[in-house]
Amino acid sequence: MMISTRGRYALRVMIDLAEQQTNNFVPLKEIAERQEISEKYLENIVKNLVQNGFLEGLRGKGGGYRLVRDPDQYTVGSILRLMEGSLAPVSCLEQRAQPCGREAICRTLPMWRNLYELVNNYFDGITLADLIAPAQSGDDYVI
């Protein structure tokens, strides 16, 4: 599985907004500058996030974007699935996959299902709040 630039940048936008800790709208230009991402490229990403209820946008002076929920209400999994469409490691596990004639005899299907479950559980167990939390003391030990 390879997470696209679109998915990674959506996470960066969401983290950036979560770090602002404000109810104010944050201009896309500021987000783009902080994240060193093209504002034009981010326009499509935030449009998708707004249309799907992850962000709220406001046009004009004082406009920009903000989270509609608290950072602990967004999981990495929900953001990535929105942007990527699926986190399935093989096409037969996609939501609307065509039935596979080999399913009954496929020796690898259980392995792919387990991986799919692990990936989803892992990403669904991480929230934006987790990603913006300061490192715990002791977590910075280096050998």
pLDDT, tens digit (0-9, with 9 covering 90-100), for 90-142: 888 888 878 888 878 899 999 999 999 999 999 999 999 999 988 655 555 55
- Work out the widest C-alpha separation in the chain, in whole angstroms: 61
Is residue 23 very low, low, confident or very high in pLDDT (cuts 50, 70, 90)? confident
Percent of the chain with pLDDT over 70: 94
Give one DSSP letter per residue of 7-73, joined into a string: HHHHHHHHHHHHHH--SS-B-HHHHHHHHT--HHHHHHHHHHHHHTTSEEEE-STT-EEEESS-GGG
Is residue 10 very low, low, confident or very high in pLDDT (cuts 50, 70, 90)? very high
Query: Residue 103 gets which letter from DSSP?
Result: G
Whose structure tokens read 């406001």?
A: 58
Whose structure tokens read 């989803």?
A: 120
Task: Output the pLDDT for position 125.
Answer: 97
Average pLDDT score, the chain: 91
Task: Output the pLDDT for position 104.
Answer: 86
Task: Output the pLDDT for position 123.
Answer: 97
Task: Output the pLDDT for position 21.
Answer: 77
Q: How far apart are CA 52 and CA 41, in angstroms?
A: 18
Compute and round to an integer the Cα radius of gyration of the chain. 18
Task: Output the pLDDT for position 27.
Answer: 96
pLDDT, tens digit (0-9, with 9 covering 90-100), for 33-85: 999 999 999 999 999 999 999 999 999 888 999 999 999 999 999 999 999 99
